[in-house]
Chains A and B, each alone.
Chain A
Amino acid sequence: MSSLAEGTYLPEGLTQPAPMRDGMDAPYWEGTREHELRVQRCADCGTHQWGPDWVCHACQSLNVEWVTVEPTARIYSWQRVHHPVHPALADHGPYIVVLVELPHADNLRMIGNLLGDPMQDIVIGSDVEAVFEDHDNGSPPYTLVHWQVAGS
């Protein structure tokens, strides 16, 4: 469950993520550093929520907590990017982006890259597992969450 032996999926030099200055999504980014997938869940009505916000969209409670969820999902949609729009990707070649849904967390959706052959066939509905990709040299250090087809 790691791609780190072969380096990062996309080359270094892309814009890096950082937590919001008001702290709203800090628990997510802290979780990724510990290789845990954290999302929001309303402490009052139990609804999982993504993207993060201060307010539960289902019941408007401000009592929104962070929970660690099983890092598995299924492919909801995808794209294979051929035309680079960032200098760091200029000579990289195609890469796959997947939108995955988490059935055990109210089908909330997340975006990541699909590891493996960039020209692989992609099947909507396939089960995927999270792969945490550490960027210890980031400022601040950060970890991305990619996906790979389950059992691959």
Chain B
Amino acid sequence: MHNAWLRFAAVSESGRGLRGRTAVAGVGETTYYKRGQSTDPEFVLVVKAILAACEDAGINPREIDGFCSYSNDRNTPARLANALGLEELRYSNMQWGGGGGGAAAVVQNAASAVHAGSANVVVAYRGLAQGQFGRFGQGGRRPAVRGEFAYTLPYGVMSPAQMYAMRTTRLMWEHGIDRSAMRAVALAAYHHAQNNPRAVMYGRPLDAETYDSSRWITEPFRLYDCCLENDGGAAMIVTSAERAADLSDTPVLVLAAQQSGGHRSGAWVHNPTDYATSSFKLGAQHLYEQAGVTPDDVDVVQSYENFTGAVVMSLIEHGLCTYENANEVLTFENLRADGGSIPLNTSGGNLAECYMHGLGMQIEAVRQVRGDSTNQVPNVNVSLSNAGPMVEIASTAIYGTAEVLG
């Protein structure tokens, strides 16, 4: 038996696993804006998202007693607790690391806190106003740079697309992955956004010809392979499964949530031992073991698109297709919510709904379990959403109905 499985079994028997112990009782987001167009300050965006999530959950915001965020979110728990008038703040947590790798890790951290009894109602949140605080998609403007970036910026490697393009090139070369698989990811996202009024790309469909003729950002990424840059706020309310069952007849359980990094995945200057990876190879094993489900059980997938090539890696590493069949399986028809075998990024995701640093894709995964997505997949019991492929620590959560627990 696999060593990792033995370790998990021991943990599970001692009652420490997350499976079904906590739930997402409510979700909320602000209006999603194009980068720089938010009329609200970033802090107000976060407050609005939290209040919306509380209303969605049917709880008083003063019940919140914990906060989790990621990627050095500027809106601190202390300031939020002040603004929300909390009597007591029992738990706060920042997931280290840049990028969106923390978007499912915040659910793990919030659920862990609730399950441990550290807090009862924990908010996982993210706020972004790139117009107010600088863009992700632009390079460093400092006169001199030290440390890791000294080995990349002077060679013109400074934007996220430039930092991650070479992993995708290597994936395509090692495994014969076609551009058609990347195109299908983009087309599915835009297809779904046309039914989602929240989506920044609502009313702006994309066809294959437009994708194929779009300009290069950096080979192998064309314009539509790259995520958007947006302003907005998003929040999720994590509480115990028991409390969630009081609030809703159909609570959305956290079946598993897992961070994932591999050997030297944070090694400088593109030196992880395994290079052409989304960083999910190890974490996905723990994830499924924790949830007690297999890839075949997954009904719908939100797979974080920083870049389409990373989605291909992520789907493979989550066992949803293989290196060998990825070119055949990853087609627009198969990725559609309306009839596809692997419904993917059903809100439009980071490409076409909003780049809310991935938290919007966790929210969409919850909506699929509740049955109120704008691109609802029928009879969803198991809903997977990953975050931050290719970054040094990525993460994935699986949400589901009580039916899955048996």
Residue positions of A touching B, CB distance < 8 A: 10, 14-21, 25, 50-53, 57, 76-83, 85-86, 89, 95, 97, 99, 108-113, 124, 139, 142, 144, 146
Contact = CB atoms under 8 A, between A and B. Distances in A.
Given A18-B150, A77-B166, A85 B158 contact: yes
B170 A16 contact: no
Contact of B268 (A50, A80, A113): A50
Nearest to B144: A18
Contacts of B156: 10, 14, 81, 86, 89, 95, 97, 113
Nearest to A14: B154
30 contacts: A14-B153, A14-B156, A15-B141, A15-B145, A15-B158, A17-B144, A17-B145, A17-B153, A50-B268, A77-B170, A78-B166, A79-B169, A79-B220, A81-B156, A81-B218, A82-B215, A83-B161, A83-B217, A83-B218, A85-B137, A85-B158, A89-B156, A95-B156, A99-B170, A99-B270, A109-B271, A110-B151, A111-B151, A111-B152, A113-B155
Interface residues of B, number: 44
Contacts of A52: 268
Nearest to A140: B144
B41 interface: no
B154 A50 contact: no
B138 interface: yes
Contacts of B145: 15-18
B269 A50 contact: yes
Given A15-B143, A111-B270, A79 B155 contact: no
Interface of B: 137-159, 161-162, 165-167, 169-170, 173, 215-220, 264, 267-271, 275
Nearest to A86: B139
Contacts of B148: 51
Q: Could you say which of B156, B167, B170, B267 has the most chain A C-beta atoms within 10 Å of its C-beta?
A: B156
B144 A139 contact: yes
B267 A51 contact: yes
A144 to B, nearest CB: 6
Contacts of B268: 50-53
Nearest to A142: B154
Contacts of B167: 77
Contacts of B159: 85
A85 B139 contact: yes
Contacts of B142: 15
A82 B217 contact: yes
Contacts of A110: 151, 269
A54 to B, nearest CB: 13
Nearest to B223: A83
Nearest to A98: B166
Nearest to B145: A15
B140 to A, nearest CB: 5
B150 A17 contact: yes
B267 to A, nearest CB: 6
B144 to A, nearest CB: 4
A139 B145 CA distance: 11
A90 B145 CA distance: 20
B157 A97 contact: yes
A44 to B, nearest CB: 18
A78 B169 contact: yes
B146 A20 contact: yes
A139 B143 CA distance: 9
A17 B151 contact: yes
A85 B217 CA distance: 10
A88 B167 CA distance: 26
B124 to A, nearest CB: 30
A56 to B, nearest CB: 12
Nearest to A89: B156
Q: Could you say which of A17, A108, A142 has the most chain B C-beta atoms within 10 Å of its C-beta?
A: A17
A92 to B, nearest CB: 9
B47 to A, nearest CB: 32
A79 B218 contact: yes
B270 to A, nearest CB: 5
A15 B156 CA distance: 9
A50 B275 contact: no
Given A15-B153, A15-B158, A99-B170, 17 more contacts: A10-B155, A14-B153, A15-B142, A15-B145, A16-B145, A20-B147, A51-B268, A52-B268, A76-B275, A77-B166, A80-B218, A85-B139, A109-B269, A111-B151, A111-B155, A112-B155, A139-B144
